[in-house]
Amino acid sequence: MATDPRAVWKVILVMDDCRDPAMSDQVTAEQFHAYATTRAQEAAKAILSADSTPTWWSLAPLTLGFVSSTIGGDNVVAVAIKAARAALVAGEGPNAEGVTFDNRVIAEGGMTLLSQSASDVLMGRIGLSGLVELGDIALVRARLAAGKPGPFGVAALKIGT
């Protein structure tokens, strides 16, 4: 996983109700934990079935302005979906086929969101849980600093004193 805070991260879905079909049924707890806490592509290889094609979702970093203006308003599910729509810039694999990632609308904080029609297609493919997982990854990433130990290979920023 790149620790550059401006880099696009490629991730696969791993949560039970939206896990990528390419994920092996033989994954150990240690393998799952290694991927879920780092989101490193190398760790993903250990949890994928041989000769499978996962869907890699590309997440761009969220701006501080977007996160600040988004977090306080809606419920946590709505915030995660909005974060996913802002962060998702591409998808490669079966679940991303036919999704138009460049059809976007202006949002706050200098971000753009996937169009509602693209979001609806994704909802049909990966469900609410999949969008929430992607949004949660993007939101956690927005609060982390490059090059420090912690989730996704970076450390949480300290807010306040």
Per-residue pLDDT tens for 80-92?
999 999 999 999 9
pLDDT at 145: 55
pLDDT at 94: 93
pLDDT at 157: 40
Q: When comparing pLDDT for 43 and 4, which is higher?
A: 43
What DSSP assignment string belongs to 70-114? HHTTS-HHHHHHHHHHHHEEEEESGGGTT--SS-EEE-GGG-EEE
Per-residue pLDDT tens for 55-84?
999 999 998 888 888 877 668 899 999 999
